[in-house]
Amino acid sequence: MSQHNKTDAVERPVNFIRNIINDDLANHKYERVQTRFPPEPNGYLHIGHAKSICLNFGLAEDYQGFCNLRFDDTNPSKEDLEYVEAIQKDVAWLGFEWHGEPKYSSNYFDQFYAYAVELIEKGLAYVCFLNAEEARAYRGSLTEPGKDSPYRNTSPEENLALFTKMKQGEFKEGECVLRAKIDMASSFMCLRDPALYRIRFEHHHQTGDVWCIYPMYDFAHCLSDAIEGVTHSLCTLEFQDNRRLYDWVLAHLNDFNRPDRPHQYEFSRLNLEYTVMSKRKLHQLVDDHLVSGWDDPRMPTISGLRRRGYTPASLRDFAERIGISKVDSMTGMDILEAAVRDDLNKVAPRSMAVLDPVKVVIENFEGEPLSIQAPVHPQNEAMGKREIFFGRELYIDRADFLEEAPNGKYQRLALNKEVRLRNAFIVKGERVDKDAEGNVTTIYCTYDPETLGKKPADGRKVKGVIHFVEASKALPAVFRIYDRLFTVENPVKADNFESVINTESLVVKQGFVEPGLDNSDPEKAYQFEREGYFCRDNQSGNIQVYNRTVPLRDTWSKK
């Protein structure tokens, strides 16, 4: 019990929130840690949510507390069951377990109502009949104080009666709201008598039609935290001002005016280069058919990244690498890509695929294709062997052949030059056939039969290695090569963000894979050697369709 820290050897990087928690525990402000991940079910989760999920659930794990999954469902006009289901799936896929059943803010609607009544009784809330435009005018501006609503001094008794009528549906939508009575001159705009409840005759996905008044975020969120016993309520920077309202509400309710009530802390949201993170923009991409859906592999959504081939481990590692702070930052894709490569390099079986095939004929090879046992992972023998073939007709990638080697650094196939075929023999380019346009149609080679699994006996050096597939056994396959969705680092800054979409963010290629991939599983990662990490598309059915997750690191083509 002496340490509130780790349960295992995993050391997570420190951040200011951990420092706060450590202090709180040391000072006995709390004796436990409880967090929550509180998505609004109005869209799919993206990698920015993954950062928050890893933070909240990670803290709960490390401090042996727990973390609730709570749907912040206070606005029935924007929310949908489709999203609550998708969100649960994504959180679970990331590998986190929420505490007990999923929670909903709507579970607490009765309690919210009772707390609203308490505020009214204390003369701290009133029913206001100013319409939306009037309320805006009364609010003042950033530099001028607002004016008190004419309904501000209604008696608690009268307000109670009015609020009851609101609940009973006796007023029209927009006719009135319940407001907190705070300070119309506050420099925090959110403290200028904020609305607590509004009228919405709307069907709610959890509570059906029992309510026609719905609480606002600022009222519902702090109360949900307090009701659940959350200790550290973590959110993003734009809620910094709202913290004053969060504190005000809890401070004025008898149940929660205690030192161990929840406290809110804000960290900066994730911004990733060459993509967008706001739900509005993501919705726009989907609705305008700029992508195939929420799970388009180019989307920064968790479902998109999953379909792209990202693993839960890689996303969690990414979250750890970028850390938590309060700086407005723009994170580079390189960190995300480094995280997947690190994971996939360790776990992905190796295979060979030719994405842009050109035929090779081995002139001195006769007979049936030869079976060869190749390692599934050259650095991990425990992963076993796989069967590949070598024969008279092969495919290699067009990019791996030039009639004439351009310089001494060139390590691929050329006429009169030797190169090793990965996992097989050394071959030498002899001559080519071309079509009318001058494109190479067939490369004729000879192979050295003494070089399977060994270097040439005469000691000659053959530096290059290229990959191939044997033609008669190869499986036709489609490859989807993905690139960044936008052409600029920060699409939000563009005048029209649709004009800055990368038209080459998806390039489809037709080629071949090894026969062993016949029944590869969707979403399972493979390394196609020298090409990158790919996974079978989860919607491709019986056709071999592979999505490129990320190419291999390339320190050579840039030179």
CB nearer to RNA: give 103 or 296: 103
Q: Given candidates 189, 210, 251, 543, which one binds RNA under the rule CB under 7 A?
A: 189
Q: Given candidates 168, 329, 441, 510, which one binds RNA under the rule CB under 7 A?
A: 329
What is the footprint of RNA within residues 480-509 (CB under 7 A)? none
Q: Given candidates 111, 206, 268, 540, which one binds RNA under the rule CB under 7 A?
A: 268
Is-contact 424 362, C-beta < 8 A? no
Sign of CA dihedral 362, 365, 368, 369: negative
CB nearer to RNA: give 22 or 540: 22
Q: Residues of 295-320 as b/e, b for ≥16 C-beta within 10 angstroms? A: bbbbbbbbbbbbbbbbbbbbbbbbbb
Q: 106, 68, 103: which is closest to 215 by C-alpha?
A: 106
- Shortest distance in whole angstroms from residue 374 CB to RNA: 8
Of the candidate spans 26-34, 56-64, 469-477, 527-535, the one that interacts with RNA by CB under 7 A turns out to be 527-535
- Shortest distance in whole angstroms from residue 186 CB to RNA: 8
Per rule CB under 7 A, is residue 442 in the interface with RNA? Answer: no
Residue found under tokens 């004025």: 252
Q: Given candidates 93, 151, 188, 444, which one binds RNA under the rule CB under 7 A?
A: 188
Of the candidate spans 26-34, 62-70, 174-182, 495-503, the one that interacts with RNA by CB under 7 A turns out to be 174-182
User: Do the bridges between strand 357-362 and strand 393-397 make them parallel or antiparallel, or are there none, so unpaired?
Assistant: antiparallel
Per rule CB under 7 A, is residue 340 in the interface with RNA? Answer: no
Per rule CB under 7 A, is residue 230 in the interface with RNA? Answer: no
Q: Which residues are part of the catalytic machinery?
A: 40, 269, 279
Q: What letter represents residue 236's amino acid? A: T
- Shortest distance in whole angstroms from residue 279 CB to RNA: 9
Q: Report helix, strand or coil for 549.
A: strand
Q: At what angle do helices 217-228 and 242-251 cross, to 10 degrees?
A: 60
What is the footprint of RNA within residues 190-209 (CB under 7 A)? 190, 194-195, 198-199
Of the candidate spans 289-297, 338-346, 361-369, 516-524, the one that interacts with RNA by CB under 7 A turns out to be 338-346
Q: Rounded CA gap, 115 and 92, in Å?
A: 33
Q: What is the dihedral of CA 292, 298, 304, 309, to 10 degrees?
A: 130
Is-contact 315 344, C-beta < 8 A? no
Is-contact 51 17, C-beta < 8 A? no
- Which residues are CB-neighbours of 195 under 8 A, at least 6 positions away? 128, 135, 177, 178, 179, 216
Q: Rounded CA gap, 193 and 130, in Å?
A: 12
Per rule CB under 7 A, is residue 334 in the interface with RNA? Answer: yes
Per rule CB under 7 A, is residue 441 in the interface with RNA? Answer: no
CB nearer to RNA: give 307 or 467: 467
Of the candidate spans 92-100, 160-168, 307-315, 546-554, the one that interacts with RNA by CB under 7 A turns out to be 546-554
Q: Given candidates 326, 359, 509, 524, which one binds RNA under the rule CB under 7 A?
A: 326
- Shortest distance in whole angstroms from residue 542 CB to RNA: 27
Per rule CB under 7 A, is residue 343 in the interface with RNA? Answer: no
- Which residues are CB-neighbours of 72 under 8 A, at least 6 positions away? 38, 39, 40, 41, 105, 217, 220, 221, 224
Per rule CB under 7 A, is residue 322 in the interface with RNA? Answer: yes
CB nearer to RNA: give 369 or 540: 369
Q: Given candidates 4, 21, 34, 40, which one binds RNA under the rule CB under 7 A?
A: 40
Per rule CB under 7 A, is residue 350 in the interface with RNA? Answer: yes
What is the footprint of RNA within residues 55-84 (CB under 7 A)? 72, 74-75, 78
What is the footprint of RNA within residues 239-258 (CB under 7 A)? 239-242
Per rule CB under 7 A, is residue 187 in the interface with RNA? Answer: yes
Per rule CB under 7 A, is residue 452 in the interface with RNA? Answer: yes
Binding to RNA by CB under 7 A, coded x per residue (else -) over 465-484, reads x-------------------
Of the candidate spans 305-313, 390-398, 427-435, 449-457, the one that interacts with RNA by CB under 7 A turns out to be 449-457
- Shortest distance in whole angstroms from residue 438 CB to RNA: 22
Phi-psi label, residue 127: left if phi above 0, alpha if psi -120 to 50, beta otherwise: beta
Q: Given candidates 24, 61, 218, 537, which one binds RNA under the rule CB under 7 A?
A: 218
- Shortest distance in whole angstroms from residue 268 CB to RNA: 6
Helix, strand, coil share of the chain (percent; to 5): 30, 25, 45
Contacts for 551-554: CB closer than 8 Å, 24+ residues apart = 552/341, 552/527, 553/341
How many residues touch RNA (CB under 7 A)? Answer: 91
Per rule CB under 7 A, is residue 13 in the interface with RNA? Answer: yes
Q: Rounded CA gap, 69 and 52, in Å?
A: 12
What is the footprint of RNA within residues 123-162 (CB under 7 A)? 130-132, 135-136, 139-143
Q: Report helix, strand or coil for 53.
A: helix
Q: Rounded CA gap, 52 and 58, in Å?
A: 9
DSSP state of 411: -
